Amino acid sequence: MLGYIVKRLLQLIPTLIGVTLFAFLLVAAVPGDPAQIIAGDSASPEEVEIIRSQLGIDKPLYEQYMSYVVNILHGDLGTSLRSSQPVLDEILSRFPTSFILTVMSLIIMIIVGLIAGIASATKPNSLRDNVSMMFSLFGISMPVFWMGIMFILLFSYYLPWFPSGGSTEFKHFVLPSIVLGLSASGVLARLTRSSILEIVNQDFIRTARAKGLKEKYVIYKHTLKNALIPIITIVGMEFGILLGGAVITETVFSMNGIGRYVVESIQFRDFPAIQGSILFISTLFVFIILLVDLSYSVVDPRVRYEN
């Protein structure tokens, strides 16, 4: 197991190099001159050129990339053009908001998705199955921004139970986490249903029923346990996606998270902030997928890792 972990960590090196190259080239290809943005429209060409030299963007592209990688290895993601603050500090200051929102959304997603999926799979082609699948289809189909606006209209305007924005108190996270959780639970419900239906007719399940075990015990102890690997996969992927990609939700609910920081950086053409955010989010996602991969052997002892 330890050898496999070391092997996977080594395999992450070219992946992370590719991430840095993607972030660098993506921003480099965006039209616009950071030096001109900093200097302002009224600056002379000489002033703009001085700023370009200070930023190092007057050098060839490969030299800029090498300098970018060296700075990353030293924990320097650059300085924001908008606030003149280190990008890493700004990202880390917003990370707790995105993390709390992600965890609360995942809890809702897991509870709702598993209940709907199990309820649907235990009575296939029944009214309960049809209602559960219609609910999951609604969650998948409805745009997140529309659900967010409807929740604000209902629970902040007509029923003033929760604030419509902010991220300083627990109550600020309730509505956005419900929106994200319900939206993601549709995928989990359909996956849970298909996974259980695939296992429920296998021989060991029929044997368990033949022994006289209660149906609830058969479903939760034997069937669901053997269906966990695809469920864990989708939960892990959703965790990575929500952690760095709740852009629309954080914007709709005016939350000071990483997603909204990315949107503001794009609006203000803050190139170092865009690069740093892409690199930070991508690196988190890569390590989350690694943890999901390693968790398979915990939930299913039949999974063995080879060095």
Q: Are residues 123 and 247 in the same domain?
A: yes
Contact 132, 117 (CB under 8 A): yes
pLDDT for position 248 = 78
Place of tokens 């998270």: 257
Measured distance CA(231)–CA(195) in Å, rounded: 8
Q: Are residues 143 and 264 in the same domain?
A: yes
pTM for this model (two decimals): 0.80
Decide if pLDDT at 4 tops 70.
no
In a domain, 195, yes or no: yes
pLDDT for position 300 = 60
Beta-carbon count within 10 A of 180 CB = 27
* Mean pLDDT calculated for residue range 190-202: 78
For 276-290, what is each residue's pLDDT tens digit?
888 888 888 888 888
Measured distance CA(55)–CA(296) in Å, rounded: 46
Q: Where a domain ends, among 29, 46, 73?
A: 73
pLDDT for position 244 = 61
Decide if pLDDT at 306 tops 60.
no
The domain total for the chain is 2
Q: Rounded to the nearest 5 degrees, what angle is found at the Cα of 74, between the Cα atoms of 68 and 76?
A: 60
Q: Are residues 162 and 30 in the same domain?
A: no
State the residue range of the domain holding 23: 2-73
Amino acid at 270: D
Those residues with Cβ within 8 angstroms of residue 12's Cβ, 6 or more apart along the chain or in another chain: 286, 287, 290
pLDDT for position 250 = 81
For 140-194, what is each residue's pLDDT tens digit?
788 888 888 888 888 888 888 888 877 778 888 888 888 888 888 888 888 888 8
Q: Are residues 41 and 154 in the same domain?
A: no
Q: Determine phi and psi for 232, rounding to 5 degrees.
A: -65, -35
Which pLDDT band holds residue 233 (cuts at 50, 70, 90)? confident
Q: Helix 271-299 and helix 258-267: axis angle, to 10°?
A: 150
Higher-scoring residue by pLDDT: 29, 170: 170
Those residues with Cβ within 8 angstroms of residue 53's Cβ, 6 or more apart along the chain or in another chain: none
Q: What's the CATH code of the domain at 123?
A: 1.10.3720.10
